[in-house]
Amino acid sequence: MRPTLLNPLFRPVTSLDGIGEKLGQALRRLLGGVDADAVPRVGDLLFHLPVAIIDRSRQPGIALSPAGAIVTLHVRVDRHQRPPPGNRRVPYKVFAHDETGEISLTFFHANPDWLAKSFPVGETLYVSGKMEWFGGRPSMVHPDHVVSEADFAAMPLIEPVYPLTAGLSGKVLIRTIREALASVPALPEWLDPALTAREKWPDFAAALNAAHHPAKPIDLEPTSPQLSRLAYDELLASQLALSILRHRQRKAVGAARIGDGRLKEKILAALPFTLTGSQVEALAEIDADLAKPERMLRLLQGDVGSGKTVVALLAAASVIESGAQAAIMAPTELLVRQHARTIAPLADAAGMRIAVLTGRERGREREETIAGLASGEIDLVVGTHAIFQAGVEFRDLGLVVVDEQHRFGVHQRFALTSKGKATDVLVMTATPIPRTLVLTYYGDMDVSRLTEKPAGRRPIETRVLPLSRLDEVVARVREAVGRDAKAYWICPLVEESEVLDVSAAEDRYKALVKALGPIVGLAHGQMKPAERDKQMAAFQAGMFKVLVATTVVEVGVDVPDATIIVIEHAERFGLAQLHQLRGRVGRSDRASVCLLLYKAPLGAVATDRLRIMRETEDGFVIAEEDLRLRGGGEILGTRQSGMPGFRIANIEMHAPLMEIARDDAQLIVDRDPDLAGERGEALRLLLYIFGRDEAVRLLRAG
Ligand code: ADP
Ligand code: MG
């Protein structure tokens, strides 16, 4: 149960003054959040921080106020000029003056009663807003603030500017945030006092307050004391959650699994290639982990095509040699089938018994697999998350390999090991994650990296062309398939409309069938999975030479003799995605080409992305560049996986804090693994505030 102390932060925003159904919806649009349908909480609102300030402190006088400047004027009201009745287009004007000149305060569609009351003739007032000059006459259209002389002190001379959304004004948002701030409870300090003293950080409530009351532009910098403090809180919450997870998983005693090498030897003999140095090294690290009596929790990072599958299989073989079972899990049906196809002949050669388990296996086959897993007759199962459904039991599940981890949420990680008593976990990802982000999202794991490409791979020639040269591209594809090459043709996914995309892909498909003949297949996200798999399988088998596809081919598909990839509207893709797509080719010893077609004119960021694609094939370099261009937010496809993003911490700006947070979290868990002490209690609050309370549940699970 969440401590009641935090209730004020977890109230819905609609409990705040003046926020009804309609403004509540505007706030939901504005704040988004993990659960898009839920009403945001007061805490969500408090983490919506200003991005700029308006400075109203300039008071130059009417005649000396430059056009476009935000100024505050001290004026005397002279007369009202009402629009002619019935003509709504003519504005209502209030004329006023100061010692330097006269100004018209201009209102469109205004309520005359309100204006008469707010601007009594003869009264002296302060007005603040944007100065405009029309044909030599000064005016201010809809001043932001109007106050009497007596109330001048109440006028905010420095005002924060927040990102807004339709139906929500800055004024209402500021007022609402002020009310929310006033309700922040006093909380015990969870940070190490030595750290807050050294960094001169305010406490949590004071930091929030300061973040919403910037006085100078420098207060908006991510490195200001208040924003650093809040970012650190957020980073510490995430690192602490990962540390707790790691601690729990390690504490659950593992088993020492030592293979004798008999299966591995046979698999290696059956492979048509020798392992790369990176593969050998990664396997040695994995085998060492398996042999230890603790649980393994390891991330295998390797660029597309670096050969992760065979590493997974050999790891599974070690575990099976020791007498246990293994599972390899992939995010889609298609990838499961592909893995099974690669693995089956090798497993056969070694005498390992394997089975496939996805949502599609039903009836007898499924029952047999389930029985085989329970009895231990099956050594290795390859499947989707169907493996972890209720009713599936293992005799002794020693290893789970999770492929393409970024499609699985962090919270699912813990569930993976629940089918075995001491299951080791190997997570594989093709997303080349920069070091800072590895720490952020996988701080609980040890990391192995496949940095070498298999021998004999040729560099991919990448060319960038405008869409106007489409005919040339089609000719090039025709010529290549004439030489027995295979080509992917990727059509983009426009987020707003999957239907439009599909129709674009279908049009392209028809055009290519016309141009090239019946050698073209089509696969897109709106097809039934079975139909889509059939198209891809036909392409794999060579019945089609060209596959028109939306990004469904992005992850993991392996067709080694595909040597051309055309990406239409390349400017619409992110760098990481372009890199993943390009990785579909260049998987054999034949020369490969990637043609990036863009629609002119290109924006600056898109130009940069395409340039980087042309310049390098190194996934890690691309990931770093991607981080630079995007600022770190979406690199892991956080939206698909529901992996919690960061609201305040900026991965680039706060990288040094990240390191401190990791060490801090480690130390906390070493000293007080149950968060039972005084600081531990306070840290639990932190976990709740930043939505990492799953970790608290783990603590309770013991
Ligand atoms: P990924 O890391 O993207 O999952 P895969 O495991 O699908 O890569 O491997 C890509 C291709 O490279 C496959 O066709 C695989 O058989 C081949 N491969 C893997 N290791 C080697 C190696 N050491 N030498 C040559 N080819 C290899
Ligand atoms: Mg793979």
Judgement on whether residues 315 and 375 belong to the same structural domain of the protein: yes
Report phi then psi at 547, rounded to 5: -120, 115
Between CA 672 and CA 567 the distance in angstroms is: 52
Report the C-alpha gap between 441 and 658 in whole angstroms: 11
Tell whether 593 and 474 lie within a shared domain.
yes
Given 565, 598, 616, the domain boundary residue is 616
Measuring from atom 4 of ligand 1, which residue has the nearest CA? 308
Backbone angles phi, psi at 206, to 5 degrees: -65, -35
**Total domains, the chain:** 4
**What pLDDT was estimated at residue 372?**
97
Mutating to test ligand 1, I would choose from 402, 558, 579, 592 the residue with most ligand atoms within 8 A of its C-beta, which is 558
Pocket test for ligand 1, best of 268, 310, 584 (most atoms within 8 A of CB): 310
Please give the average per-residue pLDDT across 355-375, as a whole number: 92
> What 8-state DSSP symbol labels residue 54?
E
Looking at per-residue pLDDT, the higher value among 624 and 483 belongs to 483
Specify whether 48 is located in the same domain as 67: no
Other C-beta atoms lying within 10 Å of the C-beta of residue 500: 11
Query: 476 with 574, same domain?
Result: yes
For residue 476, what is the domain's CATH number?
Answer: 3.40.50.300
Pairing of strands 397-403, 424-429: parallel
Token pair 């990406």 in the structure block, residue: 567
What average pLDDT score do residues 575-579 get?
A: 85
Range with the poorest average pLDDT among 114-128, 247-261, 337-351: 247-261
Write down the residue that tokens 């800072």 correspond to. Answer: 436
pLDDT of residue 521: 94
- Contact (CB, 8 A) for 245 and 214: no
Residue identifier of the C-alpha nearest atom 18 of ligand 1: 307
The whole-number average pLDDT for the span 243-267 is 84
* Residue 480 sits in the same domain as residue 608: yes
Ligand 1 atom with the smallest distance to the CA of 276 is: 23
Tell how far the Cα of 659 is from the centroid of ligand 2, in angstroms: 30
- DSSP three-state, residue 147: strand
Query: Are the C-beta atoms of 541 and 532 separated by less than 8 Å?
Result: no
Burial of 518 from C-beta contacts in 10 A (0-12 / 13-18 / 19+):
exposed
- Shortest-distance ligand to the CA of residue 588: 1
Does residue 505 or residue 181 have the better pLDDT? 181
Q: Which atom of ligand 1 is nearest to the CA of 456?
A: 25
Residue 508 has a pLDDT of 92
681-700: average pLDDT: 85
Task: Give residue 8's pLDDT band: very low, low, confident or very high (50, 70, 90).
Answer: very high
Per-residue pLDDT for 447 more than 60? yes
**83-114 pLDDT, tens digit each:** 888 887 899 999 999 999 999 999 998 888 99
Tokens at residue 452, please?
A: 């070498």
Give distance in angstroms: CA of 403 to centre of ligand 2: 7
Measured in angstroms, how far is the CA atom of residue 333 from the centroid of ligand 2? 13
Of residues 517, 519, 487, 523, the one with CA closest to residue 505: 523
Q: How many residues does the chain have?
A: 702
Q: 32 with 101, same domain?
A: no
Q: Residue 41 gets which letter from DSSP? A: B
Q: Rounded to the nearest whole angstrom, what is the distance from the C-alpha of residue 304 to the centroid of ligand 2?
A: 7
Whether residue 605 sits in one domain with residue 506 = yes
pLDDT, tens only, 43-80? 999 999 998 899 999 999 999 999 999 999 999 999 99
- Least reliable range by pLDDT among 412-421, 427-436, 455-464: 412-421
> Tens digits of per-residue pLDDT, 476-488?
999 999 998 999 9
**Which residues line ion ligand 2, judged by CB < 5 Å?**
556
- Quick one: what percent of the chain has pLDDT higher than 70? 89
Among 561, 595, 616, give the residue marking a domain's end. Answer: 616
CATH of the domain at 108: 2.40.50.140
Q: Whose CA is nearest to atom 10 of ligand 1?
A: 305
Distance (Å) from CA 308 to ligand 2 centroid: 6
The answer to whether residues 565 and 547 touch, using CB atoms and an 8 Å cutoff, is no
The pLDDT of residue 635 is above 50: no
Cβ contacts of 187 within 8 Å, gap of 6 or more: 5, 203, 204, 205, 682, 685
Question: Is 560 a member of any domain?
Answer: yes
Render 89-128 in DSSP notation, one character per residue.
TSPEEEEEEETTEEEEEEESS--HHHHHHHS-TT-EEEEE
Identify the three-state secondary structure at position 490. strand
Domain check: are 474 and 585 in the same one?
yes
Q: What are phi and psi of 182, to 5 degrees?
A: -65, -20
402 and 438 both lie in a single domain: yes
* Best residue for ligand 1 mutational test, from 268, 278, 279, 306 (most atoms within 8 Å of Cβ): 306
Q: Round the average pLDDT of the chain to a whole number and report it.
A: 87
Window from 83-92, 324-333, 522-531, 642-651 with minimum mean pLDDT: 642-651
Decide if 380 is inside a domain: yes
- Domain with 144 in it: 57-155
Indicate whether 654 belongs to any domain: no
Q: 303 and 411 share a domain?
A: yes
Asked whether residue 502 is assigned to any structural domain, the reply reads yes
Residue 635 within a domain: no
What separation in angstroms does the CA of 341 have from each of 78, 285, 309, 556, 560? 87, 26, 11, 13, 14
What average pLDDT does range 164-179 have in this prediction? 90
Whether 353 and 377 have beta carbons less than 8 Å apart is answered as yes
CA of 625 to the centre of ligand 2 (A): 23
Q: Which residues line ligand 1 (CB under 6 A)?
A: 273, 275-276, 279, 302, 304-310, 430, 454-455, 556, 558, 560, 587
β-bridge partners, 328: 382, 401
Tokens of 570: 């390349």
Q: Are residues 8 and 62 in the same domain?
A: no
Query: Is 660 a member of any domain?
Result: no
User: Does residue 375 surpass a pLDDT of 70?
Assistant: yes
- Confidence label for 387 from pLDDT (cuts 50, 70 and 90): confident
Nearest atom in ligand 1 to the alpha carbon of residue 279 is 23
Residue where a domain stops, chosen among 415, 450, 485: 450
Give the per-residue pLDDT at 665. 94
What does the pLDDT average to over 620-630? Answer: 76
* 34 — pLDDT class (breaks 50, 70, 90): very low
Does an H or E element contain 643, and which? none
Query: Which residue(s) pair with 76 in the sheet?
Result: 97, 124
Q: How far apart are CA 695 and CA 692, in angstroms?
A: 6
| Residue 273: closest CA among 593, 617, 618, 588 | 588
* pLDDT score at 639: 30
Report CA(451)–ligand 1 centroid distance (Å).
13
Tokens linked to 259:
């293979």
Q: Which ligand is nearest to the CA of 579?
A: 1
Q: Residue whose CA is closest, atom 17 of ligand 1?
A: 307
H helix or E strand, kind and range, residue 478: helix 470-482
Same domain, yes or no: 436 and 308: yes
SS3 content of the chain, % helix, strand, coil (to 5): 45, 20, 35
The residue with greater pLDDT, 437 or 596, is 596
φ, ψ dihedrals at 137, nearest 5°? -110, 130
Dist. CA 409 → ligand 1 center (Å): 26
The mean pLDDT value for 253-277 works out to: 92
